[in-house]
Structure 1
Amino acid sequence: MIDAKTLLATRRSVSIPALREPGPSEAELNEILTAASRVPDHGKLAPWRFILFRGVAAPALGKALADLAETREGPLSEARRAYEEARFTRAPLVIGVVSTAKPHFKIPEWEQVLSAGAATMNLIHAAHARGFAANWITEWVAYDEEAKRLMGVAAEEKVVGFVYVGTPSEVPSDRPRPDLSAVVSDAPMPVVA
């Protein structure tokens, strides 16, 4: 496993076409999901859940989503239909992260949503720590109510994203990162009127 400093400094999103077999074993997946669950969670609500898109369900859902897209948009091109049908088979494993945030007497919904985002990032770091690569995307299916229903996401839930996981077939290249001077500032002195 990678030490934490190296892990944080080397994590990169890898393009989905570059994610190949093998994906995580069941034991590795359990470790990844356990690590993903170790996030700040005010009130111990676990305001998120994971959906594993794999096996025979993955291509079946892709076909159902392609059919849904066609009912909305009219006949799909051959390339678009193939893209939609392969939606959950483009990597060895796709993990949907779902926010289950809801009103709470003490815990703001925003904090619950942030916890779901933290779970997603922990999932990506945990995969990277085990030698896998990942890519976090959403696309239209994350925001379409009928698509959400097909994927087992309730109307009151929100899709945080889909994390595609596999073994990288190439060394990921880095991309420009923000200059710290553009994103870091000291708190201002209060102005008293």
Structure 2
Amino acid sequence: MDALKAIENRRSVFPKQYNEEPISKEELGKILFAANWAPNHKHTEPWRFKVLQGKSRLEFAEFLVNKNAEIEGKPSSFKRKKIVSKFQQSHTVIAICMQKSPKGKPPEWEEISAVAMAVQNMWLACTALSIGAYWSSPSLKDLVGGYFDLQEGESCLGFFYMGKYDGELEPGKRKSEIDSKVQYFS
């Protein structure tokens, strides 16, 4: 699949759409390789990824459920099911993290942008490999430091759920054509 076709065909594919087929180590390697080629200012390469598969993704889901219960003061069976089901239905979940530059340069917004571009590269690689993916940034992302050994200045920006899926995805749509969003100056 060429790059423009991958961009046009990229979709959010949600965990409930995933089947049981595993993502191979080779496929995961290609996805992470693509992430590492994202542009970034000052060569900081601020992306950090925590890859959860098998039992670890379910243990992490339980950690999030327990943290949520602490915050809310009582466990909610609805919230528990909502959190756990995404992890159960996904073959792989990646915690998307960012390591801020200790000198504060480049500015944080550029580091966040670089991480987002790394995730976009992963998403495009998933599209080319027929792997579904979805980036979610729930408020629980701010609590992962109690599970992962985050470095000083490292924070979590969300979770990247991944899995194989059956069938065809719906065609993409945009509210308007690109010409309505561009001004040309000569």
The TM-score normalised by the length of structure 2 is 0.86
CA deviations over 1:69-110 (Å, ceiling 9, x no partner): 111113233232222334433311111211112253753332
Equivalence for 2:119: 120
74-83 or 46-55: which moved more?
74-83
1:134 alignment partner, SS class: strand
Deviates further, 174-183 or 62-71: 174-183
Q: Distance in 1 between matches of 2:136 and 2:114?
A: 18
Q: Which is greater in Rg?
A: 1
Unpaired stretches in structure 1, ≥5 consecutive residues: none
Look up the equivalent residue of 1:163 and give its one-letter code. F
CA deviation after TM superposition for structure 1 residue 7, in Å: 1.2
d(CA) in 2 for partners of 1:169 and 1:152?
Answer: 36
Q: Matched residue pairs, number?
A: 185
More helix by share: 2
Which of residues 146, 153, 157 in structure 2 aligns to 1:156?
153
Compared CA separation, residues 69 and 125, structure 1 to 2 (3 A):
same
Partner residue in 2 for 1:183: 181
CA change 1:72–1:103 in 2 (3 A) is same
RMSD: 2.3
Q: Which residues of 2 match residues 9-158 of structure 1 at below 5 A?
A: 9-104=8-103, 107-142=106-141, 144=142, 146-154=143-151, 156-158=153-155
Go from structure 1 to structure 2 and tell me whether the alpha carbon gap of 1:103 and 1:184 turns closer, same or farther (over 3 Å shift).
farther
TM-score by length of 1: 0.84
Question: Which of the numbers 165, 177, 183 marks the counterpart of 1:168?
Answer: 165
Query: Structure 1's 20 and 148: CA in aligned 2 closer, same or farther, altered over 3 A?
Result: farther
Name the amino acid aligned to 1:46: E
Paired-residue identity, %: 26
Letter in 1 for 2:19: R
